[in-house]
Amino acid sequence: MYLEPEFVPSTFIGKDNGELIGSAAIVKCDMDTHEELSPWLASVYVSACHRKHGYGGLLVRHVMQKAKEEGVRALYLFTPSEEDFYGKLGWRKRSEESYRGAAVTIMEVHL
């Protein structure tokens, strides 16, 4: 259930036995240099003590599934360092560029 009638934007929270594990969001646009691409997976975070246990993948796959259920055909993201992580989840590299002074990879997945 969403607080607003629109699916985008939404944030998803991962919990285990009531403990906050992490979160992931879907937003209309996450790069002001690519407003033509939408929507975006954004703000994927897993708390340090819960990393390397598969929670990040669960969160990302959950957002992908919810987006597909809402009729989204493609999602985008940018990452400075986690291209391999997203690649294992079915994302592919779209481009590499500089964004706000950092080298990033823009990725996409078709749902």
Domain containing residue 84: CATH number: 3.40.630.30
What mean pLDDT comes out for the span 89-108?
98
Domain that holds residue 92: 10-110
* Cβ atoms within 10 Å, residue 84: 8
For residue 4, tell me if it sits in a domain. no
How many domains does the chain divide into? 1
Q: Which helix (H) or strand (E) holds 67?
A: helix 55-69
What mean pLDDT comes out for the span 20-38?
96
- 50: which 2 tokens? 């819960």
**Rounded to two decimals, what is the model's pTM?**
0.90
pLDDT for residue 60 is more than 90: yes
For residue 2, tell me if it sits in a domain. no
β-strand pairing of 19-27 with 40-46: antiparallel
For residue 51, tell me if it sits in a domain. yes
